[in-house]
Amino acid sequence: IAEKLEISKRTVDNHISNILTKTATGNRVALFRWALQSGKVCIDEVNCCVLPEYTAPETEA
């Protein structure tokens, strides 16, 4: 991940640690299970979540 994003491994580790804390998961496997169960990711068309389309906020004239 670090090499692909051209950032340090420590930065990646910090981000992963923060994500694990915020999702109350203890490791990457539990995080992946959480992401599947909450519809954040999909691994095939059968188990795929439909993401809502982005709608830009209206601006006041």
Q: What is the pLDDT of residues 6-52, one digit of tens each?
A: 999 999 999 999 999 999 999 999 998 888 888 787 777 665 666 56
Cα 38 to Cα 42: distance, rounded to the nearest angstrom: 10
Task: Give the N- to C-terminal CA distance of the chain in Å, as an integer.
Answer: 43
53 versus 1: which is more confidently predicted? 1
DSSP designation for 7: S
Domain span at residue 25? 1-53
Q: Does a structural domain hold residue 30?
A: yes
Q: How many domains does the chain have?
A: 1
Q: Does a structural domain hold residue 44?
A: yes
Q: For position 46, what pLDDT does the model report?
A: 61
Q: Does a structural domain hold residue 41?
A: yes
Q: Does a structural domain hold residue 36?
A: yes
Q: Does a structural domain hold residue 35?
A: yes
Q: Does a structural domain hold residue 19?
A: yes
Q: Does a structural domain hold residue 60?
A: no
Q: For position 7, what pLDDT does the model report?
A: 93
Q: For position 28, what pLDDT does the model report?
A: 93
